[in-house]
């Protein structure tokens, strides 16, 4: 017989919420029905057609204690079906592992958070502060759902943020930021049949861009050393350019991802990219998600680490990671301490044959319950 957390994870995996298009409403309805069966009426609303946020509240005593927000997202990364050895939406269980798209990132964490909240509700004990479920759409589409949650005021009164992205049930207090840049090269339009007189880069925007990107690939950025995360990294992710095979392209562009470490200035990075650009390449900033770095000695961090340790987690933290989460658009803007704890394995997000370890999935439910009870003042552990 499988547990409530495992069954809810499987039910969520069965809903195809690959982004794009997302269709997060499918998974949001699963969680909503689970909550309604226990007398909790969630707020379920669209941030775009079919792209649905869910907010639910387990009320505290109303004595002014700050709330705790549990954060997770419904959408998943795409699936290359021909590479999978299992059905990515079947939730197959084999040898202590639960397979499926989203098992790690992050339907397992979402299910564990939901069940932890319901266990607290069922206990009949009253927390001093509210426990919120803030589940979002479109994390993979630039954190669109989380941005709306902030704009709509759903974090008012929240004192701390717990995110269930994959950590292997360790407590991560640091995540890198993401600076997205676009480099655009201009050229001199013409036809190759009449370009004998051109020299050098021959006015070819693609060639100009390629030579710039070669410099970008070797660029080493100045950044302060950090206790939990490694130096910044640069990735050239998308290239566009050209009109047709015989025409000299007048325009070409590339989108670049820079993972920033805490304390690193985004402005200095943009300046570094512009300094190597030359006269035919312009660099613009597309988006910035700030790094998040909660002090290791923060009380919320300490109780999260202790909750992980209580479930036998080796090296429970604190630690850090190179990905960004919805917390990047929540915690810095609102000044919240953020900790990431999730049952999935780091690096398993979007992987072929994605899975979550059942033992860790079950343990995460107990970890989340303990964190909520400790922070919201019900139990002294």
Structural domains in the chain, sorted by start:
4-175+292-375 (3.40.630.10), 177-289 (3.30.70.360)
E strand or H helix at 319 = strand 319-321
The 10s digit of each residue's pLDDT in 61-75 is 877 899 999 999 999
- Mean pLDDT, the chain, whole residue set: 95
Q: What is the pTM of this model?
A: 0.93
The 10s digit of each residue's pLDDT in 176-187 is 999 999 999 999
The 10s digit of each residue's pLDDT in 268-314 is 999 999 999 999 999 999 999 999 999 999 999 999 999 999 999 99
- Return the higher-pLDDT residue of 198 and 320: 320
Residue 1: predicted pLDDT: 58
Average pLDDT over residues 117-123: 95
The pLDDT confidence band at residue 381, using thresholds 50, 70 and 90, is very low
Pairing mode, if any, of strands 51-58 and 43-48?
A: antiparallel
Rounded CA separation 101/107 (Å) = 9
Residue 378: predicted pLDDT: 62
**Residue 353, number of CB atoms within 10 A of its CB:** 16
Q: What phi, psi does 12 have (nearest 5°)?
A: -70, -40
- Residue 44 pLDDT > 50: yes
Side-chain-side CA neighbours of residue 202 (13 Å): 15
For residue 60, the Cα-to-chain-centroid distance in whole angstroms is 28
- Residue 380 pLDDT > 60: no
Contacts of 30 (CB under 8 A, 6+ apart): 8, 11, 12, 15
């Amino acid at each position: 017989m499988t547990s409530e957390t495992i069954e809810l994870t499987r039910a969520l995996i069965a809903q195809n919420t690959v982004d794009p298009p997302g269709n997060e409403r499918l998974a949001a309805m699963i969680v909503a029905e689970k909550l309604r069966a226990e007398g909790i009426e969630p707020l379920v609303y669209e941030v775009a057609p079919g792209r649905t946020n869910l907010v639910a509240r387990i009320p505290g005593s109303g004595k002014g204690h700050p709330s705790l927000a549990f954060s997770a997202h419904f959408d998943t990364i795409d699936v290359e079906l021909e590479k999978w050895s299992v059905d990515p939406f079947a939730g197959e269980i084999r040898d202590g592992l639960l397979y499926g798209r989203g098992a790690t990132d992050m339907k397992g964490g979402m299910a564990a958070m939901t069940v932890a909240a319901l266990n607290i509700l069922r206990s009949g004990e009253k927390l001093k502060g509210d426990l919120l479920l803030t589940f979002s759409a479109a994390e993979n589409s630039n954190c669109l759902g989380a941005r709306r949650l902030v704009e709509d005021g759903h974090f008012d009164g929240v004192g701390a943020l717990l995110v269930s992205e994959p950590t292997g049930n360790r407590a991560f207090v640091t995540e890198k930021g993401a600076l997205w840049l676009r480099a655009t090269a201009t050229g001199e339009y013409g036809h190759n049949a009449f370009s004998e007189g051109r020299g050098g880069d021959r006015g070819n925007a693609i060639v100009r861009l390629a030579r710039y990107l070669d410099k970008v690939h070797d660029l080493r950025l100045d950044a302060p050393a950090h206790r939990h995360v490694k130096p910044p990294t640069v990735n050239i992710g998308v290239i566009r350019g050209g009109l047709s095979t015989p025409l000299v392209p007048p325009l070409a562009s590339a989108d670049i991802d820079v993972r920033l470490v805490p304390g690193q200035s985004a402005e200095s990075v943009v300046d570094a990219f512009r300094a190597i650009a030359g006269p035919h390449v312009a660099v613009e900033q597309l988006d910035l998600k700030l790094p998040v770095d909660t002090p290791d000695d923060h009380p919320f961090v300490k109780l999260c680490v202790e909750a992980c340790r209580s479930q036998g987690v080796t090296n429970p933290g604190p630690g850090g990671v190179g990905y960004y989460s919805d917390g990047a658009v929540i915690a810095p803007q609102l000044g919240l301490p953020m900790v990431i704890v999730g049952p999935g394995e780091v690096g398993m997000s979007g992987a072929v044959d994605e899975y979550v370890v059942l033992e860790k999935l079950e343990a995460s439910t107990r970890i989340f319950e303990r964190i909520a009870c400790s922070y919201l003042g019900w139990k002294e552990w």
